[in-house]
Structure 1
Amino acid sequence: MSYSDFKSLDQAVSNLELTVEDIPHFFSQVAPIEPSQRLQETLEENLDLAVSISTEKARSELIITPILLEIRRRFQNKIGYFSGNTFNVDDAKGLMGACDFMLSASSNQSLVTAPVLTLVEAKDNDIRIGLGQCVAQMVAAQIFNNRNGREQQAVYGAVSTGTNWKFILLEKDRVKIDLTEYFIPQLNQILGILSEPFRIYFE
């Protein structure tokens, strides 16, 4: 079993013994961050093309990656960016395999270091399908953080189609899902939420 085998949120919650809380506007208090001119220009060029191609690969390369690299630049490249890397944490629980994207609090591209933010590409442009996989990866990140002395570190996760974003927070065994879905015109809010775990860590 691997992350991609967690086909639904119910499956992840049941198998990993979690509880779920749906919270409207859960991340609404996070300060928005204005995108750089570089990111704005990139998305102006890429967005329509990615939507017209409408494959996961195109949305990943043309929308999601530029947004994640913006977060990395914001923290002076002190954040590690990983795409498709293997993250084997607990074979017995099925917490193994490749993650679509991860950001970690280290500029070292050779090793993932705690804390970790994990992001899943939505399959078939359906955010719901990616929630189970995202939660499984967040639990893996939590275990990884604990092993590296970050026991109190909340884990952030996201599922995205590129144009739509859903954010999740894991604290101990409680999954908190923001019922609000963010869209690409709300880019400043998306950037703010993606930056939040690293703002807390570095500040």
Structure 2
Amino acid sequence: MAKILETDRTYLFSQFTEFNDPPDEILAELGYQLRVDSLELPKSPTIDCSTLKNTLERRIQLTPLTSEQARRETLVAPILFEVVEPLNLKLNIEYSLVGKKAKGNLDYLIRGHNSLLVIEAKRDDLTRGFTQLAVEMIELGDCYGAVTTGNIWQFAKLRDHQITQDINLYRVPGDLSDLVSILVGILQPEEL
């Protein structure tokens, strides 16, 4: 089988969205295995998201979501702030990371009980966005990740050279309560 990645080259994270090769083959070249399965994601108790849901529904009506920036400012950032503020966690935006095989800026990085990386899928393409997310997760180390188009979210988990891509998708605003519960569950310490 022909190699996908050049041996002595460092790629920009965004370049991984340009490969037509299956994500599992790209990740295998980086020494990681991809598994697609239903993830058992940590969840916090039910959180009242009614105010945020109403705000997002109104913003969706008022804002054409035709660009990555519009989706990030209208949908993604407000959800992440809803999560980090009560937990008193820092929301790193455009966090610079240089790894062994790739480098660039992570859209959002939150370090809590676990690290959580969130990226906006370029051109609304979750599959190619997932490949970029997986590479960013590899360079970051064991963590959780989410790729989003703004209104659709998909999670992943990296542990011990295996990335598990969740087969479940979460929609905003419809699944907002579940989504926020998962985000908080990932970041807050488990209660004893």
Q: Shorter-chain TM-score category? A: 0.7 to 0.9
In structure 1, what is the equivalent of residue 5 of structure 2?
A: none
What is aligned with 1:148? none
Q: Which among 148, 163, 169 is matched to residue 175 of structure 1?
A: 163
Q: Choose the corresponding residue for 1:40, options 26, 40, 53.
A: 53
Distance of aligned partners of 1:195 and 1:173 in 2 relative to their CA distance in 1, 3 Å threshold: same
Q: Return closer, same or farther for 1:12/1:28 CA change in 2, 3 Å cut-off.
A: same
* Letter aligned with residue 75 of structure 2: I
The CA distance in 2 between the partners of 1:139 and 1:183, in whole Å, is 26
Q: Find the aligned partners of 1:158 and 1:53 in 2 and give their Cα distance.
A: 19
Distance, in Å, in 1 between the alignment partners of 2:191 and 2:116 is 14
d(CA) in 2 for partners of 1:93 and 1:87?
A: 11
CA drift at 1:31: 4.5
AA partner of residue 139 (structure 1): I
Please, what TM-score do these two structures have when normalized by structure 1? 0.77
Report how far residue 104 of structure 1 moved: 1.7
* Residue 101 of structure 2 is aligned to residue 93 of structure 1: yes
Counterparts of 1:119 and 1:63, CA distance in 2:
13
Unaligned runs of 5+ in 1: 106-113, 143-153
- Partner of residue 30, structure 2: 16
Q: Which has the larger radius of gyration?
A: 2
1:32–1:190: structure 2 CA closer, same or farther, 3 Å change rule? farther
1:11, 1:132 within 8 Å by CA — same for their partners in 2?
Answer: no
Pair 1:15–1:2, CA change in 2 (3 A): farther
More helix by share: 1
CA RMSD of aligned residues (A): 2.3
In the alignment, is the contact (CA less than 8 A) between 2:42 and 2:186 conserved in 1?
no
- Partner in structure 2 of residue 147 of structure 1: none
Cα shift at 1:11: 5.3
Change (3 A) 1:201 1:81: farther
Deviations 1:118-158 (A, max 9, x none): 1110111121110111011111221xxxxxxxxxxx51000
What is the CA-CA distance between 1:202 and the residue it aligns to? 8.3
Matched residues, percent identical? 25
TM-superposed deviation, 1:54? 2.0
Q: Which amino acid aligns with 2:108?
A: F
Pairing 1:49–2:62 present = yes
Tell me how many residue pairs correspond in the alignment: 177
Whole-angstrom distance in 2 between the partners of 1:4 and 1:198: 26
Deviation of 1:72 after TM superposition, in Å, equals: 0.6
In the alignment, the residues of structure 2 paired with residue 32 and residue 187 of structure 1 have an alpha-carbon distance, to the nearest angstrom, of: 14
